[in-house]
Amino acid sequence: MKIHVGNLHVQASEDGLRMLFERHGQVERIALPADEQGYAVVDMPDPEEAQSAIDALQGQPYEGRPLDVNPARPGQAKATRRPEFSRGEPEEQPPDDNPRGQRGGGRRGQRSHRGEV
The three-point CA angle 95-99-100 to 5° equals: 120
Higher pLDDT, 33 or 79: 33
Partnered with residue 6 across adjacent β-strands are 39, 68
Examine the pLDDT at 13 and tell me if it is beyond 80. Answer: yes
At residue 111 the predicted structure's pLDDT band, cuts being 50, 70 and 90, is: low
Kindly report, residue by residue over 56-78, the tens digit of the pLDDT: 999 999 999 999 999 998 875 44
Distance of alpha carbon 68 from alpha carbon 54, whole angstroms: 9
The dihedral region occupied by 29, where left means phi > 0, alpha psi between -120 and 50, and beta the remainder, is beta
Examine the pLDDT at 85 and tell me if it is beyond 50. Answer: no
Angle of helix 47-57 relative to helix 14-22, nearest 10 degrees? 110
